[in-house]
Homo-oligomer: A and B are copies of this chain.
């Protein structure tokens, strides 16, 4: 006899990995248990590899520390950041699944205005499984949501949309502000629940935050490189931004969509604005040149895959951003190394599949 269950149905259970970068025990998962326990986790341990990270019982996971990364990638490990959550992209590299959801360990389950717990992953999956509409704006937002559609004046030829590559979720409570804004508005909290998902139009860049992010690894994975940040690098807190700029340019080029809006998570703790300022300050003035660079970047007709597009973009980074600072030359090289590592670990044969510590 069929039982009526109030348990959420885990969509795409065998096609999605959850990637978590962390330096501490993962108690935050307790709150996520009803939604995330059915899924496989890839934990990327940052910092001291001798530290033992505790994962709540019942979760299925593999965990990689710096020693694992060095062992698996060899000299190519240089492209993976250390002492920075940018290391999370190693998880994207070793996953074999079609979809990735990545979440920070200071993010908790948020509530919708009716007081119900938000199943963030379920909403991300809905976003990814419905098309995007980057070529024309729909004023009632995502036309594929229940109760919505394309409004009068929306061209019929564009109503099929394009495949969605990225679902960018938002945050209640602590907003994702830069250090100067944190300093100026230390008490500002995001309390506004905006019940919308929308496609970021073609040709428009956005600040992609890595806190609550899902993507189709097969469609865009190789562009989800979080750059060189943290230990030994002149900047931090631009890892997700860098990935977002590259991802958007390449998505536009390959006619893929990027959605933003729902789902919300509850962001519990503001990071220290003084520490952040130190990490960000070069990024804050570099971005004034980086963003116009990405706004103008175009890719050739030969760039028919994400990998080819990404390598082409790396050459432009070296040429156009290199003159700003030698850091960008190093970053451009790391972008190429990343693609090499991606291709090495993601060949058709599973023989090369690197294994971490399996639970």
Contacts and interface: CB of A to CB of B under 8 A. Distances in A.
A56 interface: no
Interface in A122-176: 136-141, 147-157, 168, 170, 175-176
A308 B232 CA distance: 55
A349 interface: no
A153 B139 contact: no
Interface size grouping (class) on chain A: 35 or more
A215 interface: no
A149 B209 contact: no
Nearest to A182: B152
16 contacts: A139-B168, A139-B206, A140-B190, A140-B192, A147-B189, A148-B175, A149-B177, A152-B178, A153-B208, A153-B244, A153-B287, A155-B291, A157-B288, A193-B195, A196-B196, A200-B201
B205 A136 contact: yes
B207 A139 contact: yes
Given A170-B139, A203-B201, A176 B147 contact: no
Contact of A195 (B154, B192, B288): B192
Which of the listed residues A138, A139, A185 has the most CB atoms from chain B within 10 Å of its own CB? A139
B195 A151 contact: no
Interface of A: 113, 136-141, 147-157, 168, 170, 175-178, 181, 185, 188-196, 200-209, 237-238, 240-241, 244, 260, 280, 284, 287-288, 291
B237 A152 contact: yes
Given A137-B206, A139-B209, 15 more contacts: A136-B205, A139-B260, A140-B170, A140-B175, A148-B175, A151-B176, A152-B280, A153-B207, A155-B287, A156-B284, A157-B288, A195-B195, A201-B203, A202-B204, A203-B204
Given A136-B204, A149-B181, A188-B147, A194 B155 contact: no
Task: In the A-B complex, list the 7 residue pairs whose CB atoms are closest, starting with the nearest.
Answer: A153-B207, A137-B206, A201-B204, A153-B241, A152-B178, A194-B196, A203-B203
A288 B177 CA distance: 41
Contact of A151 (B137, B150, B192, B207): B207
A225 B33 CA distance: 56
B288 A156 contact: yes
A137 B204 contact: yes
Nearest to A189: B147
Given A139-B260, A206-B136, A178 B153 contact: yes
A206 to B, nearest CB: 4
A201 B139 CA distance: 13
Contacts of A176: 139, 151-152
Given A170-B139, A260-B139, A291-B136, A152 B241 contact: yes
A196 B140 CA distance: 11
A110 to B, nearest CB: 15
B205 A238 contact: no
Contacts of A153: 178, 207-209, 238, 240-241, 244, 287
